[in-house]
Amino acid sequence: MQKLVQDRPVLVRWLLWLVAVAATVGAFMYQDKTGPTYPLEGELETAAGRVRFIFVRSETLDTELPILLVDPVPAGVTGRVEYRRLKSHDDWTVAPMRRGDFKFSRRGRDFTLSGIGVALPGLPERAGKYEMFVKIDDGSGKLVSVTGDRPVYARFKGAVPTPVLISHVLVIFMSMMFATRTVLEALVDGSYRWMLHATLVSLLVGAFLLGPLVQWYAFGVWWAGIPLGWDWTDNKVLVSLLAWGFAAWANRKGSRSRLAIYAAGVVTLLVYFIPHSIFGSEFDYRTGKGRGTVG
């Protein structure tokens, strides 16, 4: 019994770390799947049967962009894509869907899916975007837009070296994990000072060193947040830094403020509820300049 009592604090610490890791994984999955660059996937009920679709919404420069209905496609179902470059004077182009195999990449893995679809031409401009409507005919002769009156958007970016991207993601993951663990340690009134410092250091390295490096490769710009722009991804990590910086100041040597830790944790949680890359870099073909890009 005595040994169990002695081991209990260790077990509690491990449990708190597991909770922190689980919460971080959940936050990252939410960010990934709700972001505007995640492939738009779903199913649509038609008179001919259920249709499964995948629309790739982020691709490397000059790489074809697949928009497809995935096999098995019900007999009699056809479709087309109406697209144009966003913020341009282009007319709408209509591309009928054709049967074939379509290749795309996701998280460094290559996929090939069969069905009927269109491979839109790649764009050479960083942050160049397509806006498009995907319409399906279930055999009745009536075209139905998959997303109703709203267009689908797809953005092109420069290739980011894999080591740079992996390092950025891992350090940001560590920052979120340390932030969560700091809040949990404050909740049990434990010693969280080193965790607070680890949160700040990993946030600085991941978001303000590696993050700008990723953005430079992808869009040719180091920073697009305040005071240079309104990119939400840059601005939300800036808000996080201010929150944790204040928490560190409030918990400087000789001071202890669990309330400041809780406040920083709430700010971090709110920041992670904002989808990644929302209102991000965007090229304007009417002016030849980009928001959050070089040029």
pLDDT digits (tens, 9 = 90+) for 37-74: 778 888 888 888 889 999 998 899 999 999 999 989 88
Strand 93-96 to strand 143-145: parallel, antiparallel, or no bridges (unpaired)?
unpaired
Query: Helix (H) and strand (E) counts for the chain?
Result: 6, 13
Where along the chain do its domains lie? Answer: 2-34+161-291, 40-157
d(CA 158, CA 207): 19
pLDDT of residue 85: 95
Q: Which of 92-96, 125-129, 138-142, 229-233 has the lowest mean pLDDT?
A: 229-233
- Residues for the chain: how many in total? 295
For 183-223, write each residue's pLDDT tens digit.
Answer: 999 999 888 999 999 999 999 999 999 999 999 999 888 88
**Are the beta carbons of 114 and 100 closer than 8 angstroms?**
yes
Peptide bond before residue 227 is cis, with ω within 30 degrees of 0: yes
Predicted pLDDT at 4:
39
Percent of the chain with pLDDT over 90: 51
- The domain 40-157 having CATH identifier 3.30.420.40: the answer here is no
Mean pLDDT of 164-192: 93
Q: What is the mean pLDDT of residues 11-17?
A: 89
Does pLDDT of 277 surpass 70? no
| Cis preceding-peptide flag for 72 (omega within 30 of 0) | yes
* Residue 34 confidence (pLDDT) above 80: no
Average pLDDT of span 24-34: 83
Q: What is the reported pLDDT for 287?
A: 87
